[in-house]
Structure 1
Amino acid sequence: MTDVRCYAILSLMRGVVDQRLFAGLFGVMLMMGIALTLFGATLPLLIRTFGWSYLESGVVMGAGSVSFFIATFFAGRLASTVGLSRLFRGGFVLAAGGLLLFARWPSMWVNVLVNVLMSLGFGAVEIGANLTMLRIERDGSGRAMNVLHAAFAIGAILGPVSTGALLQTGIPWNLVYRGMAVLFLVLWLVMERLNPSRFDIPRADHATHPRGALLREPVYWLGFLTLCLYVGAELGVSNWVAEYGVQVFRIPERYAVFLVSTFWVGLLAGRFLAPLVLTPARQRGVLLGSAVLFAAAVALTAALGILLPSPLLLVFLVLASGLGAAVIFPTTVSLVGTALARWQGDAVGFATTGGGVGSFVFPFVMSAISEAWGIRIGFAFYSLSAFLLLGALGLLIAAAAHRTGRGAA
């Protein structure tokens, strides 16, 4: 087994044009995972310290989500014009500036503005990392992209844990944001030295390949739809599974929280196992098979709550859901970026915007359904979403294959 893992790592590194830049991108995504969980980790302190209501907290959070997916759209369009180094530079400056100022004053509206600017920076950095990875991965299989996004998942797990550990030392809680600002400035200096602009996307020739032609490409729209459904379903399962375990399976709250970790363990394992199975020839089969596993596991999780509330089976299905979800986002980004290489920045930016829309819209839908008909029906909604994702992904794979067959046409 060790030999197999070593072979996978060596194969992965040989498939990357610049290993130092890959390591830098891994660090960027790790810090992104930590930074994007800070709000949730400090939310109780924000509410108690500043006297915010749940509605005011939601306004601040929602403003960041909208800003993030707007940033991904425009960052994708600007990438070939400004270059990857400038894109990272702008993103890091906005993100670090926002982290320096967030939670410094109690005003909700000041913090909305700061969160908007900070999230614009996060969106630019996210697109910069994805596009750079597409440029340095030789075969476009998505193996290195999956490992890159595993770094984000590690950060999402470490973020709340490290924040809690720091708060235990007695430091003022909002200094956590200032510390992250310093780390983002350090990352900016590292990325400046690594110079990702060596792999800039060629400026699109809009006379030969106008953006209007991109709008007629099914891959463009299906990439958006796929990631919208995926992020909505993925965040839905991970955000609601603990409450589902408490309400439906009568799991004590102190144990139910580990269901979230179980999902992320499955997702992490899947992303680190991806180099073993992903090749250009297998990419589409692995992607579709993962979506089948995700849809089946989420559907069985919903059915289990109605037919046979078994906590042990729930743990197994949540783990399987995470494993099935693992490769979908990063491999879809690779598929879209490779299929629409002439408009790579626009295509990847728009697809990632779909994920941002899903992360914003789905929580409201789930909350409304659960409030009206109960959390069992709410989880059935996520089951339906997972099967719609499977259908969208099937159409995307077919459209990408057709596009590849057409070549440069």
Structure 2
Amino acid sequence: MTVARVPFRAPVVLAYTAFVLIGVSAGVGGVLLPAQIGDYGVDMATIGITFFTFSAGFMLSGATAGGLIERHGPRLTLAVGGGAFIAAALYTATRPPFWALLAVQIVAGYGGGLLESVLNAYLAKLPSATTLLNRLHAFFGVGALLGPLLAAWMLTALPWTAVWLVLALACVPLTIGFLLVYPRHDPPGDTAQAAPPGDQDAVPVAVPRGDGGAPAAELERTGLLTTVLRAPAVLLASVFLSVYVGLEVGVGNWGFSFLVTEHEEPDLVAGYIVSGYWLGLTAGRFLISPVATRLGLTATGMTYACLAGVTAASALIWAAPGGAVAGAGFVLLGFFLGPIFPTAMAVVPRLTSARLVPTAIGVLNGVSVIGGAALPWLAGAVAEGVGVWTLMPFALILALVQLAIWRLIETRMTPE
């Protein structure tokens, strides 16, 4: 296969930096909630409405990302996402009325979601996409770990609005960078084919593969989003990631209560274990993909191995006789969960055509927040009614569901 070398290091480094900021913005939220509740004089249920408005903006970004990339290219689409995030953050920093805080979260969710979708789509078209996307999401984990520390430190001397001002200012040079280093338009055709081993800087020559079986005339008539939503493989991948995010967030949200109630761990120890879960998730994204590549595992094979690890870790925590074993299980669970989301993004070019990849990734990204909201809520409702011990059987069931869905997805992939 003939390849053409292109300098893509600057866009990749900028993408990693952007995901650190996205992770920081996600990580500060929980630390700021008590200050926002006190400032606005609302209760926890009322401030929780911001989660839904943010998610609405995030889902909207997933639905529109592909069309924006198609018409305007990644450069301007990233600038729109960065601009929306900056505008929302700056307005939030002015301490708006509560109704306006709810509304501006739609803009913040749209801007952040657009950045995520476009950067995922861009890296998915590069060689060694699986490793690149795992690193990308690992840097999100780095930001999510740093965010609470930053917010807690700033709140010792400044109001909560100052944190949003810092986020807005940090996004300004990133947005300028998007305009300087990203291409105006995506290259035509399908660049999803794998590069030769060891050729990390080679981008394969485009090989058109057809728009998911849809003729060009039909694609123009129905539109990118409608065509993607009619693709069974993309819908299965969306459900897969929705279940994944539900499992990841559900364990992250309720793991502390599980450890304190079921294993009678002190609050401090339980907090450390939950932190170990998130550290394990970040480490898994940095480490597993390179090791799998050296062992000759494909992206699908690595995902099967990770899903098996998630299943085993969930069973280990459930059966653990003591807190130490359960703690080790939490770290292992995070470690094996880590690569699943970015690897699912990396195989999207094998589920549809190059022209539909950005739209498909936007749909996957947007739909994933449904599971991230609904399944943790369901886990909490079950725990409230039956007992928090149900968390790990719940996680085990979701792990098995992921295995079944991944098998269905694999049968619809083009060969690696």
- Is the shorter-chain TM-score for this pair beyond 0.5, marking a shared fold? yes
Corresponding residue for residue 7 of structure 1: none
Unaligned runs of 5+ in 1: 1-13
- 1:348 paired to 2:358: no
More helix per residue: 1
Corresponding residue for residue 207 of structure 1: 217
Q: 1:231 aligns with which of 242, 245, 262?
A: 245
- 1:92 paired to 2:82: yes
CA deviations over 1:69-126 (Å, ceiling 9, x no partner): 2212221343222211111111111111111112634633211101111111111111
1:201 is displaced (CA, Å) by: 6.3
Q: 1:321 aligns with which of 306, 317, 333?
A: 333
1:158 is displaced (CA, Å) by: 0.5
Say which is worse superposed, 293-302 or 90-99, in terms of deviation. 293-302
1:213 is displaced (CA, Å) by: 5.6
- 1:172 paired to 2:162: no
Corresponding residue for residue 265 of structure 1: 279
Say which is worse superposed, 117-126 or 56-65, in terms of deviation. 56-65
- 1:156 paired to 2:151: no
- 1:275 paired to 2:303: no
Tell me how far apart the structure 2 counterparts of residues 77 and 281 of structure 1 sit (CA, whole Å).
34
Tell me how far apart the structure 2 counterparts of residues 376 and 17 of structure 1 sit (CA, whole Å).
51
Tell me how far apart the structure 2 counterparts of residues 323 and 199 of structure 1 sit (CA, whole Å).
34
Q: Which amino acid aligns with 1:61?
A: F
TM-score (norm 2): 0.86
Corresponding residue for residue 266 of structure 2: 252
TM-score (norm 1): 0.87
Aligned residues: 383
1:46 is displaced (CA, Å) by: 0.6
Query: Does the 8 Å contact 2:62/2:359 carry over to 1?
Result: no
SS of 2:184's equivalent in the other structure is helix
Query: Does the 8 Å contact 2:72/2:184 carry over to 1?
Result: no
1:214 is displaced (CA, Å) by: 4.2
Tell me how far apart the structure 2 counterparts of residues 318 and 209 of structure 1 sit (CA, whole Å).
45
Query: Does the 8 Å contact 1:77/1:346 carry over to 2?
Result: yes
SS of 1:52's equivalent in the other structure is coil
1:359 is displaced (CA, Å) by: 1.1
Q: CA RMSD in A?
A: 2.3
Query: Does the 8 Å contact 1:237/1:382 carry over to 2?
Result: yes
SS of 1:61's equivalent in the other structure is helix
SS of 2:127's equivalent in the other structure is coil
Tell me how far apart the structure 2 counterparts of residues 16 and 288 of structure 1 sit (CA, whole Å).
32
1:49 is displaced (CA, Å) by: 1.6
Query: Does the 8 Å contact 2:242/2:368 carry over to 1?
Result: yes
Residues 1:201 and 1:88: Cα distance change in structure 2 (over 3 Å): farther
1:221 is displaced (CA, Å) by: 1.2
Residues 1:209 and 1:366: Cα distance change in structure 2 (over 3 Å): same
Q: Which amino acid aligns with 1:145?
A: L
1:9-408 equivalences in 2 (<5 Å): 18-102=8-92, 104-105=94-95, 107-135=97-125, 137-140=126-129, 142-168=130-156, 170-197=157-184, 199=186, 206-207=216-217, 211=224, 214-273=228-287, 274-278=289-293, 282-304=298-320, 308=321, 310-342=322-354, 343-400=356-413, 403-404=414-415
Tell me how far apart the structure 2 counterparts of residues 56 and 247 of structure 1 sit (CA, whole Å).
27
Say which is worse superposed, 371-380 or 225-234, in terms of deviation. 371-380
CA deviations over 1:286-309 (Å, ceiling 9, x no partner): 1111011112212332333xxx2x
Residues 1:295 and 1:17: Cα distance change in structure 2 (over 3 Å): farther
Query: Does the 8 Å contact 2:253/2:376 carry over to 1?
Result: no
1:215 is displaced (CA, Å) by: 4.4
Q: Which amino acid aligns with 1:277?
A: A
Query: Does the 8 Å contact 1:76/1:347 carry over to 2?
Result: yes
Q: Which amino acid aligns with 1:102?
A: T
Query: Does the 8 Å contact 1:68/1:119 carry over to 2?
Result: yes
SS of 2:280's equivalent in the other structure is helix
Corresponding residue for residue 9 of structure 1: none
SS of 1:104's equivalent in the other structure is coil
